[in-house]
Structure 1
């Protein structure tokens, strides 16, 4: 018994589509690649903190971590933060004891963070990245955008720093990680290393 070609092609396509969907479901949370300055500017709070350990969570569906704040880079609330929360889902982040750079948002008076926020071990940041943290706030008036081809070569002043093909006006992603996007006197924004 032979199967008509159109049925075989349809079954093949269905197989590959279902395999792709299963892979997406299995992977769970995915974050768009963003420059750390973008994450910084979009967050309510950014801190360097020492994680002391897990504590019992008083909030449903959240994991609680006991911390000691070392530095507040972007405080949106004045009160001391001693406990931070992450979701229990695949988009949540698990922290080991140690120092981290963490960003998140204030939800019902507490800091909540996830995998798409800054969740970086402090000892894995370069000295340049650590230094850039104090300048990120000043660059929040700028936009960091991806570019491709001719859009990476724009000459007019703009309030954007471009990530794409490395040239005089844009940086590739790896070089951009070591830079900060800051406003200039003419109203444009430029990468500063």
Structure 2
């Protein structure tokens, strides 16, 4: 009897361990859903590049890509970027040759990006997003915040644009993707749509 009880306990432990490990592997990389303007404002670098291929990198934990910068949205400086890096973890992004809009952070003097950053093929980026890119920097003083229920009705959000239930002061997520959160009169922020 003690052998079968021991075997049952062992099988039970193995089952729970395998479920836990499978959940960790299946989860991989989790990114919070954020408005593209939020990602833009929180990034150190936002660029449109033409990826020309993989190159041998100096950092073994990162994948290196050779790029030609087409437009530098952030920061607007003259420092040349020839190589960019992606994590080799599950949060890393794989690029093919072609044009991309990418955002990322500066780590030890190089640009590093991942799946939670802006990683969009330029030819698949909606035209409204392309237009809004030039306005996002202007709205970085504002905060884009999710709201639910009664919090979507609160009009005291001076420096915030709300995303949640669509009403007179907040937008649904899909509609917010077509808009930019910009400062208005008296320092309050509000959604602006249909900008050219």
For 1:153 and 1:18, the matched residues in 2 are separated by 45
Q: Residues 55, 46 of structure 1: CA spacing in aligned structure 2 closer, same or farther, 3 A cutoff?
A: same
When normalised by structure 2's length, the TM-score is 0.87
Residue in structure 2 matched with residue 160 of structure 1 by the alignment: 160
Which consecutive segments of 4 or more residues in structure 1 shift more than 4 A? 14-18
Q: What is the RMSD of the two structures over their aligned residues, measured on CA atoms?
A: 2.0
How many Å apart are 1:172 and its aligned residue?
1.1
CA distance in 2, matches of 1:28, 1:55: 26
Give the equivalent residue in structure 2 for 1:185: 185
Alignment of 1:46-125 (within 5 A): 46-75=46-75, 78-125=78-125
Contact 1:44 1:76 in 2 (8 A): no
Give the distance between the partners of 1:101 and 1:74, measured in 2 at CA: 12
The size of the alignment, in residue pairs, is 183
> 2-side partners of 1:179 and 1:84: how far apart?
29
- SS of 1:141's partner is coil
Q: CA deviation at 1:79?
A: 1.4
Shift of 1:157: 5.0
Cα displacement (A) at 1:185: 1.1
2:29 is matched with which residue? 29
Structure 2 distance, partners of 1:51, 1:16, is 44
Q: What is the aligned partner in structure 1 of residue 19 from structure 2?
A: 19
The CA deviation string for residues 99-119 of structure 1, in whole angstroms up to 9 with x for no partner, is 100001111111110111000
Unaligned runs of 5+ in 2: 1-11
Q: Is the 8 A contact 1:101 1:118 kept in 2?
A: yes
**Rounded Cα–Cα distance in structure 2 between residues aligned with 1:17 and 1:101:** 40
Question: Residue 41 of structure 2 corresponds to which residue in structure 1?
Answer: 41
Rounded to whole Å, the distance in 1 between the matches of 2:154 and 2:21 is 38
What is the TM-score when the length of structure 1 is the normalising length? 0.88
